[in-house]
Amino acid sequence: MKIINRWVIFSAVGLGSCLFLVTILWLGSAAPREESVNLELAALTLIPGPTSTPLVTITPTHDPALGTATPLPGKIVLGTYVQISGTDGEGLRLRGVPGLQGEHLFLGFDTELFQVIDGPQESDGYIWWYLLAPYDATRVGWAAADFLVSVNSAE
């Protein structure tokens, strides 16, 4: 007598079919009923992005300890601080030497602050100043004065 014969196969297929049919009927009856759902729209709050740093203007004062007056606002001189301005967000190329042919070292962005440490020098129709970023000694280079605004620091 064989254990697997056609009656065993027919019985297994029949039992499997019955179980499949019962499962389908059970899942169909357990399906969630459609109910009316009251949806509310979420309130949307727009948060504006950050704006550029405003230009700082300081009133010139006389410091008797130094014996000289603070440079006038808008005048770029050695030791003063300047901000990049007027590039329409494109930034200003700081160069290895004064002039348009100088190697482009890095890009300074609008409102970025620098200290004037050398200059002025005239080249290619521009007045050039050698600038140093006070927060990073590796960010030094020559920049055209047309895109610089003096920011006198209160020390």
Query: What confidence score (pLDDT) does residue 28 get?
Result: 78
Q: Which of 139, 134, 147 is nearest to 79 (CA)?
A: 134
Percent of the chain clearing pLDDT 70 (strictly above): 76
Domain definitions of the chain by residue range: 1-30, 62-151
3 state SS for the chain: CCCCCHHHHHHHHHHHHHHHHHHHHHHHHHCCCCCCCCCCCCCCCCCCCCCCCCCCCCCCCEECCCCEECCCCCCCCCCCEEEECCCCCCCEEEECCCCCCCCEEEEECCCCEEEEEEEEEEECCEEEEEEEECCEEEEEEEEEHHHEEEECCCC
The mean pLDDT value of the chain amounts to 83
Residues 30-82: tens digit of each pLDDT:
766 666 667 788 888 887 777 766 666 655 555 666 655 555 556 888 888 99
Residues 11-37: tens digit of each pLDDT:
999 999 999 999 988 887 776 666 666
Residues 98-127: tens digit of each pLDDT:
999 999 999 999 889 999 999 899 999 999
| pLDDT bucket at 155, cuts 50 / 70 / 90 | very low
Q: Which CATH number fits domain 62-151: 2.30.30.40, 3.40.50.620, 3.40.120.10, 3.40.50.300?
A: 2.30.30.40
